[in-house]
Amino acid sequence: MRLRADFWVAAYIRRCYLEGAAAVLRKRGAEEAGAIFVKLDRLDGTVALFGPAPQSWTMDRPEERLFAPVPLAASTPLEAEERLAKERAFDPDLWIVEIEDRDGRCFLDLVGPPA
């Protein structure tokens, strides 16, 4: 059974603070099962965006909340905001967390496409 989104987000924000990164909840989504997106600001003018990993990538770990990088052409804050606006239009129940970390740490369980 997967942890509720509201508990996961609260724990994630706390972990970011414990690791020395600033974190803020920008948008609250559905408490139990909302999709979670994380915007990472590296404080050098570049950002990274992470979203839920496709289910086909996580078949062996269905109970975990796994993330994948969201492709951005230029990695600019404006591009990330445009992508988040599209995601919000598609799914108004999503969560958005923004973190700032000069070292570019995201503190997420990341996966890539299966080999």
- What are the pLDDT digits (tens) for 35-90? 999 999 999 999 999 999 887 766 666 667 889 999 888 889 999 999 999 999 99
Of 105, 95, 113, 115, whose CA–CA distance to 56 is shortest?
A: 113
Would residue 111 count as lying in a domain?
no
pLDDT tens digits along 92-104? 999 999 999 999 9
Would residue 36 count as lying in a domain?
yes
Assign residue 75 the CATH number of its domain. 3.40.1530.20
Q: How many domains does the chain contain in total?
A: 1
pLDDT the model gives residue 56: 73
Which residue range is the domain that position 92 belongs to?
Answer: 5-100
pLDDT the model gives residue 1: 63
Would residue 114 count as lying in a domain?
no
Would residue 20 count as lying in a domain?
yes
Would residue 112 count as lying in a domain?
no
